[in-house]
Amino acid sequence: MGVKNGLRRGAALAIALITTGALVTACGSSDDSANSTTKATAENPVGCQTDGQTGNRVIKDTFYGDVTIPAQPKRIVSGWLLGTQFIDLNVRPVGMLDDYKKNATTEELSEVQGIPDVGSIQTGFNAEEVISLKPDVIITAVRPDMVEDLHMDQLKEIAPVVAFPIQEPTDVWSVYPKLAAALGCGDSAQKQLDQLNTDLGQIATDNKDAEAKLGSVAYVEGSEQPATYQIATNKSLSYDRITKAGLKYFDGVPADPKRYVELVSTEDIARLSSANVLFFEADENGKPTKRTQALLDQEAFKNLPAVKAGNLFPYRLPYAYTVGAAKDQIDDIKAAVEKAKPAQ
């Protein structure tokens, strides 16, 4: 995703879509779904729900303050950046903003096959489509400075709107437990989230001596903007997970960054020279994404010390904010620690 325009365009479309769309939750899930004990159906669209609450539920501290929604909603509209989380939580929407498709796995896509799109990042939301779905509730992420552009007030005329404020796309991960709690799935989801942190910490404990010899590491990806690439900063989820695993992040980005990634000219690939280990943006199969493959193909990148040492490793689905993706990333970090050669 682009550093500037991607968030604004995506938000506008997504929220707009939410503005118009309604997701009826009814989704199947894999064994890795955050809470699933019951497969979601049209009658029981929130398959992860375990708290048994009936009547109404009050969601506190949303962008619009406290919002009352059905405790067991039947028709949910999923908005900007939350599509894969709905799938992960075993919730099947009746309509979805199509931005989730970019970071969903083949298995996840199969779980929501047949659910209509209610908008796209490129064309915006389709209000008529969303209204036709008659949602019980609309749930989305929202960036506060985009509310006017996204016409958020239209959403409130369709159904109760639960809008979780974010500043960066990677902040969506902090929405996960809030979304789960709003759907009555909070306890079991939180257990899985806690386990992820435990697993990251275990990598650090089990590999303390080996990690001390690895030197610094960095995460890189391509960019939608010509002649540039991106390096994760300490505002990114990639940085958070890599460092929780005990690895030392390199100092080639500002200590007080403006964004979750630093946009760098491809003329300055040498900035990565101090990193002994590099992670790159990969798809679900561990292959570089198209934009990142363009970076990896550059001669200057191939000549980096980490690449020449064989210390270049995939980091799968960095923008899929799901438990399943997090488990893959933990496996990727663990594999890199076991295979990487010590710094010279």
Q: What is the pLDDT of residues 24-68, one digit of tens each?
A: 333 333 444 444 457 777 777 888 888 989 999 999 999 999 999
Residue 275 three-state SS? coil
129/218 same-domain check = no
Token pair of 89 as six digits: 């939580």
pLDDT of residue 34: 45
Asked if residue 236 and residue 95 are part of one domain, the reply reads no
Contact at 8 Å (CB) between 119 and 125? yes
What are the two backbone dihedrals, phi and then psi, of residue 165, each rounded to the nearest 5 degrees?
A: -70, 140
Output the CA–CA distances (angstroms, integers) from residue 85 to 16, 228, 289, in the order listed: 19, 30, 21
Judge whether residue 4 has pLDDT over 50: no
Is residue 75 situated within a structural domain?
Answer: yes
- Residue finishing a domain among 159, 188, 217: 188
15 and 147 inside one domain: yes
> pLDDT at position 124, please?
61
Instruction: Give domain status of residue 344, yes or no.
Output: no
Does one domain contain both 143 and 225? no
**18 with 109, same domain?**
yes
Q: What confidence score (pLDDT) does residue 245 get?
A: 98
Closest residue by Cα to residue 105 from 330, 328, 333:
328
pLDDT tens sequence across 154-166: 778 889 999 999 9
Q: Which domain holds residue 110?
A: 5-188
User: With 60 as the cut, is the pLDDT of residue 276 above it?
Assistant: yes
Same domain? For 219 and 320 the reply is: yes
Distances (CA, A) of 69 to 184, 243, 297: 12, 38, 50
Give the end of a domain, one of 164, 188, 212: 188
Helix (H, G, I), strand (E, B) or coil at 113: coil
Q: CA 155, CA 136: separation in Å to the nearest integer?
A: 12
Q: Which residues pair with 37 in a beta bridge?
A: none
Q: Does one domain contain both 252 and 301?
A: yes
Domain count, the chain: 2
In whole angstroms, what is the distance from residue 325 CA to residue 58 CA?
30
Tell whether 241 and 309 lie within a shared domain. yes
Question: Is 193 part of a structural domain of the chain?
Answer: no
Whether residue 300 lies inside any domain: the answer is yes
68 in a structural domain: yes
Q: Is the pLDDT of residue 150 over 80?
A: no
Rounded Cα distance between 153 and 42, Å, is 28
Nearest-CA neighbor of 313 among 269, 276, 264, 260? 276
Closest by CA to 28, choosing from 99, 107, 95, is 107
Is 195 among the domain residues? no
> Last residue of some domain: 188, 220, 242?
188
In a domain, 25, yes or no: yes
Averaged pLDDT for residues 208-232 = 97
Residues 129 and 116: beta-carbon distance below 8 Å: yes
Per-residue pLDDT of 310-340, as tens digits, reads 999 999 999 999 999 999 999 999 999 999 9
**What percent of the chain is predicted at pLDDT more than 90?**
68
Are 27 and 140 in a shared domain? Answer: yes
Judgement on whether residues 29 and 133 belong to the same structural domain of the protein: yes
Q: Is residue 194 part of a domain?
A: no
Burial level of 47, CB count in 10 A (0-12/13-18/19+)? buried
**Residues 169-187 pLDDT 10s:** 889 999 999 999 999 999 9
Task: Output the pTM of the full model.
Answer: 0.85
Q: Are residues 143 and 275 in the same domain?
A: no
Distances (CA, A) of 40 to 27, 37, 96, 192: 5, 9, 16, 19
Same domain, yes or no: 76 and 175: yes
Q: What is the CATH number of the domain that holds 29?
A: 3.40.50.1980
